[in-house]
Amino acid sequence: MQFFSTRNAGSRVSAAQAIVQGLSSEGGLFVPESFPQADLKTACEKASYAELAAYVLGLVLPGYPQEFVAEATEKTYGEAFQGKAGYLRPVNKDLYSLELWHGPTCAFKDYALQIMPKLLVKGKELLGRSELTYILVATSGDTGKAALAGYQDVPGVKIAVFYPSHGTSQVQRLQMTTQQGDNVAVYAVKGNFDDAQTGVKKVFADQELGRQLAEQNVCLSSANSINWGRLAPQIVYYFAAYRQLLEQGRIQMGDAVDFCVPTGNFGDILAGYYAKRMGLPVGRLVCASNRNNVLTEFLKTGHYDARRTFYRTTSPSMDILVSSNLERLLYHMCEDTEKVSGWMEELRTQGHYQVDAQCLEKIQEIFSAGCTDDEQAAEEISAMFQDNQYLCDPHTAVAFCVAQEYKNETSSGAPMVVLSTASPFKFPGDVLKALGQLVPEDEFEAMRQLAAHTNVPAPQALASLQGQPERFDREIEPEQIREIAKIL
Ligand SMILES: *Cc1c(COP(=O)(O)O)cnc(C)c1O
């Protein structure tokens, strides 16, 4: 199995090339040319998350030696996830929470970003490449820290992270600005996430800059979820959820399971689609958005319209207007790179596009969508805690709202698994407020009060940030990202 660009099916690349390169040269995203089939029984018999990951990743990373994959998954998903990798927690009758925040940075992005550095280093070795890889990351909060933690002091790699100056929580910012390592840098970018992301994308598309860097034996790469190495590891926990439902006797082999995913760049939910294509009995994939509901509208009407007000919400990792990975879904729905190129060009030049009826119909066979505002999400946090003694963060709360709305509207008897993407202690102020408590100004005080009020301990990785020296305090304009990429 090889990979090709969503905008040009002409040239094929290996998994290692797709990961080392990140984005294809004409701006498209790499997609697999076919979907290897997982044997469900084999997958569900794996004894640990690491073994399951070795099996699933082995299928979607052709060319990587299986012993390497097994060793990398063992190293990644063992200790660092506190024995809770892919942990599925029953919430009430048909509703489950797939807790994906027991990793080192307390967000689901650890699943991919803890293993991606290993895939990159091995990929370079497989391709016989010795250049310095310079990773540029635009982040709305969680990706930045997870990438920094994953790439810290990885040989042959340097990483720069760009976050919107007014788009992250205090905890998220501190997680990044206190990052250790000799190969890391962190910048605040004036504007919102899309400004930062657009700035980074421009640098990747700048061929002149690419040539200059190549002369210095430097190659740019990305850790954003447009990289295949980010998507592939996320396929695993859909299987892990299924396996646990089987173990708990909630389903029989082959029964369908619905998933509701709090969505921003469409990477996490797309991994669920890939799991389905690989043979996992995924019923419905429900896409949950906050007030930035561009995806809700698109999945309901086929009209993607980024010409709208950008809202800052209490779920900042979903504050996105241009959802990059949707391009991959569009390709899989129509299997026509020219169509996809056309839509992406319309998006770039006019800010919107409309897909054809056939494409929309295919999307709606699999996906549902819903959105909710901050107020409803806050009510959900409170209701979840009171009714189910379950504490969740604002991103997860958005998904719980949408999941329950979906359940009320349909008669699906299938279990509904909500992907819980961040620890509530990453957003202690908003969570405390949702629980009806007064919110202290300082986020660490809020963390302590949240722990005291709920009797749930704060993760050590977050509580210990307090008082750590900040290493990075530079604020830049989006246009300056290019200079930074150039200087190294
Ligand atoms: C990144 C993130 C999301 C959105 O995931 P996408 O793959 O971008 O759709 C949701 N919740 C949290 C907490 C995140 O960090």
Ligand 1: nearest atom to the Cα of 263 = 9
Q: State residue 266's pLDDT score.
A: 97
Helix, strand, coil % over all residues of the chain, rounded to 5: 50, 15, 35
Q: State residue 166's pLDDT score.
A: 83
Residue 487 has pLDDT above 80, yes or no: no
Please give the full DSSP string across 164-193, using - where no structure is assigned.
ETTSS-HHHHHHHHT---TTEEEEEESS-H
Location of structure tokens 């190293």: 75
Residues 6+ apart with CB under 8 A from 85: 49, 50, 77, 102, 103, 111, 237, 240
Q: State residue 485's pLDDT score.
A: 84
Ligand 1: nearest atom to the Cα of 234 = 7
Coil vs helix vs strand at 65:
coil
Q: Catalytic residue numbers?
A: 109
Above pLDDT 70, what percent of the chain? 100
Strands (E), 263-324: 282-289, 303-305
Whose C-alpha lies nearest to ligand 1, atom 11?
Answer: 421
Closest CA to 257 of 280, 233, 287, 234: 280
CB 114 within 8 A of CB 103: yes
The residues lining ligand 1, judged by C-beta closer than 6 Å to any ligand atom, are 107, 109, 142, 225, 262-268, 317-318, 395, 421-422
Q: How far is the CA of 420 from the centre of ligand 1 (A)?
A: 10
Ligand 1: nearest atom to the Cα of 268 = 7
Whose C-alpha lies nearest to ligand 1, atom 2?
Answer: 317
Q: How far is the CA of 319 from the centre of ligand 1 (A)?
A: 9
Q: Are strands 218-222 and 132-138 parallel, antiparallel or unpaired?
A: parallel
Could you tell me the two tokens for 27? 């701006």
Q: How far is the CA of 268 from the centre of ligand 1 (A)?
A: 7
Q: State residue 25's pLDDT score.
A: 83
Could you tell me the two tokens for 358? 């056939």
Topology of domain 84-105+229-426, per CATH? Rossmann fold (3.40.50)
Tell me which of 312 and 384 has the higher pLDDT.
384
Segment 153-175, tens digit of pLDDT: 999 999 999 999 987 888 889 99
Q: State residue 79's pLDDT score.
A: 78
Distance (Å, rounded) from C-alpha 334 to C-alpha 88? Answer: 34
Q: How far is the CA of 50 from the centre of ligand 1 (A)?
A: 22
Q: State residue 181's pLDDT score.
A: 96
Q: How far is the CA of 288 from the centre of ligand 1 (A)?
A: 11
Distance (Å, rounded) from C-alpha 289 to C-alpha 313? Answer: 11
Q: Which of 29, 265, 323, 328 to mutate to test the pocket of ligand 1 (most atoms within 8 A of CB)?
A: 265
Ligand 1: nearest atom to the Cα of 396 = 11
Distances (CA, A) of 43 to 59, 275, 279, 324, 428: 11, 12, 11, 30, 37
Q: State residue 287's pLDDT score.
A: 98
Residue 140 has pLDDT above 80, yes or no: no
pLDDT confidence bin for 488, thresholds 50/70/90: low
Mean pLDDT, rounded, of the chain: 95
Residues 6+ apart with CB under 8 A from 265: 224, 225, 226, 320, 323, 324, 325
Average pLDDT over residues 447-455: 98
pLDDT confidence bin for 302, thresholds 50/70/90: very high
Q: How far is the CA of 433 from the centre of ligand 1 (A)?
A: 22
Ligand 1: nearest atom to the Cα of 395 = 11
Residue 28 has pLDDT above 70, yes or no: yes
Give pTM, 2 decimals. 0.94
Could you tell me the two tokens for 115? 């293993």
Q: Which of 317, 329, 420, 423 to mutate to test the pocket of ligand 1 (most atoms within 8 A of CB)?
A: 317
Q: Which of 268, 270, 381 to mutate to test the pocket of ligand 1 (most atoms within 8 A of CB)?
A: 268
Segment 72-124, tens digit of pLDDT: 999 999 878 988 999 999 999 899 999 999 999 999 999 999 999 999 999 99
| CA of residue 442 relative to chain centroid, distance | 28
Distance (Å, rounded) from C-alpha 96 to C-alpha 89? Answer: 6
Segment 419-446, tens digit of pLDDT: 999 999 999 999 999 999 999 999 999 9
Residue 141 has pLDDT above 80, yes or no: no
Whose C-alpha lies nearest to ligand 1, atom 14?
Answer: 317
Q: Which of 97, 230, 421, 430 to mutate to test the pocket of ligand 1 (most atoms within 8 A of CB)?
A: 421
Q: How far is the CA of 262 from the centre of ligand 1 (A)?
A: 6
Distance (Å, rounded) from C-alpha 75 to C-alpha 344? Answer: 39
Ligand 1: nearest atom to the Cα of 422 = 13
Could you tell me the two tokens for 101? 């925040």
Segment 217-237, tens digit of pLDDT: 999 888 888 899 999 999 999
Residues 6+ apart with CB under 8 A from 7: 24, 26, 27, 28, 337, 340, 341, 344
Q: How far is the CA of 141 from the centre of ligand 1 (A)?
A: 9
Whose C-alpha lies nearest to ligand 1, atom 8?
Answer: 265
Q: State residue 262's pLDDT score.
A: 98
Distance (Å, rounded) from C-alpha 414 to C-alpha 318? Answer: 26
DSSP state at residue 25 = T
Segment 323-366, tens digit of pLDDT: 999 999 999 999 999 999 999 999 999 999 999 999 999 999 99
Distances (CA, A) of 276 to 56, 62, 223, 258, 432: 12, 19, 24, 11, 37
Q: How far is the CA of 313 from the centre of ligand 1 (A)?
A: 13
Segment 167-223, tens digit of pLDDT: 788 888 999 999 999 999 999 999 988 888 889 989 988 989 999 999 999 998 888
Q: State residue 82's pLDDT score.
A: 83
Ligand 1: nearest atom to the Cα of 267 = 7
